[in-house]
């Protein structure tokens, strides 16, 4: 069975719906989400409700946590802070309750899921480089850990002594290696490619593939502007930054 692993939807309904359509077309049997369902985009309730219906396992992201009052929005820069405060005002009580109860980390069937870093999931640390990744690879015992947070898809792989970055579209697991996989962002990519990003994971065959999906960016941008959110949140969608 193949599994779709999503992250950083960020209330971008147009991107999320396009990804869900691709998942259905590909006949993928399960959907996992590594957090940040909300923040930045204009459709927080709609995105949370879709995740609740389609995802079998979800962990909490920093924007999710702040939108429901679990962490101080002062943690964010001014643009992100204004979006997370607005999001908290829009969320229904039912969706707030759902986000409040999400775990920070989950382990299942040989893999782990966490939004930011497996060693300290409540600290929201970023993992950009091999030094950071190597440290994190020693903090979990599973074959692979799926993360998001940076909005930049990347594979880190280690044979126990050497940690390397892999930039291929697909990575095949080796018996003597363990992996840290950033699945990118559905709703706000930051790697220069504006298309929505997610991963397909085949535990039986031992591979992970990154997938890009085009979506209606203009409609997502218009919604952000109409909601009165910072203009930069709309503009950056065009550039994947």
Task: Give the residue extent of every domain in the chain.
Answer: 3-238
Q: Compute CA distances 60 → 68, 85, 116, whole Å.
A: 11, 17, 10
In this prediction, residue 75 carries a pLDDT of: 87
> Which pLDDT value is given to residue 220?
98
Q: Which two tokens stand for residue 177?
A: 């290696």
CB-CB contact of 229 with 81 (8 Å): no
Contact of 36 with 66, CB cutoff 8 Å:
no
Low-confidence residues in the chain, pLDDT < 70: none
- For 194, the token pair is 């504006």
* 89-134 tens-digit pLDDT: 999 999 999 999 999 999 988 999 999 999 999 999 999 999 999 9
What is the side-by-side order of every strand in the sheet holding 196-202? 57-58, 30-33, 3-6, 196-202, 207-213, 170-172
Question: pTM of this prediction?
Answer: 0.97
pLDDT score at 160: 86
Output the average pLDDT for the chain. 97
* Distance set, CA 230 to CA 10, 83, 89, 135, 223 (Å): 14, 8, 16, 36, 11
The correct answer on CATH 3.40.50.10860 for the domain covering 3-238 is no
Q: What is the pLDDT of residue 159?
A: 92
pLDDT at 65 (0 to 100): 98
Round to the nearest angstrom and report the end-to-end CA distance of the chain: 33
- pLDDT score, position 229: 98
Please tell me the distance from the alpha carbon of residue 159 to that of residue 174, in angstroms, as a whole number.
Answer: 9
Predicted local confidence at residue 161, as pLDDT: 84
């Amino acid at each position: 069975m193949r599994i779709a692993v999503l992250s950083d939807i960020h209330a971008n309904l147009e991107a999320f719906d396009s990804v869900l359509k691709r998942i259905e077309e590909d006949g993928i049997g399960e959907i996992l989400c590594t957090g940040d369902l909300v923040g930045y985009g204009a459709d927080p309730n709609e995105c949370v409700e879709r995740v609740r219906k389609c995802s079998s396992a979800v962990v909490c992201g920093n924007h999710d946590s702040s939108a429901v009052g679990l962490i101080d929005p002062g943690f964010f820069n001014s643009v992100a802070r204004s979006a997370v405060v607005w999001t908290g005002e829009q969320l229904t009580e039912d969706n707030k309750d759902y986000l409040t109860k999400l775990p920070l980390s989950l382990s299942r069937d040989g893999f782990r899921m966490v939004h930011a870093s497996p060693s300290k999931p409540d600290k929201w640390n970023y993992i950009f480089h091999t030094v950071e990744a190597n440290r994190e690879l020693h903090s979990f015992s599973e074959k692979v850990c799926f993360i998001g947070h940076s909005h930049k898809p990347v594979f880190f792989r280690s044979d126990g002594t050497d940690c390397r970055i892999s930039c291929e579209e697909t990575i095949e697991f080796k018996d003597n290696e363990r992996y840290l996989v950033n699945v990118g962002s559905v709703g706000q990519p930051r790697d220069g490619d504006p298309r929505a990003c997610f991963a397909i994971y085949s535990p039986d065959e031992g591979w992970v593939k990154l997938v890009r999906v085009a979506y209606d960016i203009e409609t997502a941008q218009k919604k952000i502007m109409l909601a009165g959110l910072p203009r930069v949140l709309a503009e950056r969608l065009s550039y994947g930054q």
